[in-house]
A = this chain, B = another copy of it.
Amino acid sequence: MTSPTENTAESTARKLYAQDRASQSLGMQLGRVAAGVATVQMQVQPHMTNGHGICHGGLIFALADSAFAFACNSHGPATVAAGVSIEFLAPAKTGDLLTAVAQERWLGKRTGLYDLVVTRTDGTVIAHARGRSHRLRSAPSTTES
């Protein structure tokens, strides 16, 4: 049995994911979602590698950013990423299954902080990131800082 809060988180994430063509086209799978928390997985495919033959950092970031989006929108109101700082700690290769977990660390009136961790299935941490969210007053397409 899940709490009403988890139901809101879950249903909000499912709706966002259903419209999130970027996450879908990158093969991301939405995992567990609860208030302030989300897990997303992605397998590194051959067309995701960079000039050094390892997974492009932008796609590792995209995975973390999607988990971040599902976590910071889990409370209901439309919320976007205002900024993210990421540290790339180990490379990922074609075939690696990556898991990103976003966890709320602090929540203010309109902004929030989220810790984002990306790991390989062997437990190696690929990246640590921290995201700052911004709750919107209007539609995302008119956002201004």
Contact = CB atoms under 8 A, between A and B. Distances in A.
Interface in A105-121: 105-106, 108-111, 113, 115
A75 interface: no
Contacts of A87: 82-83, 113, 132
B56 A58 contact: no
By size class, the interface of chain A is 35 or more
A48 B22 contact: yes
A86 B83 contact: yes
B54 A141 contact: yes
Interface of A: 15-25, 46-59, 61-66, 69, 73, 78, 80-91, 93, 105-106, 108-111, 113, 115, 125, 128, 130, 132, 140-141, 143-145
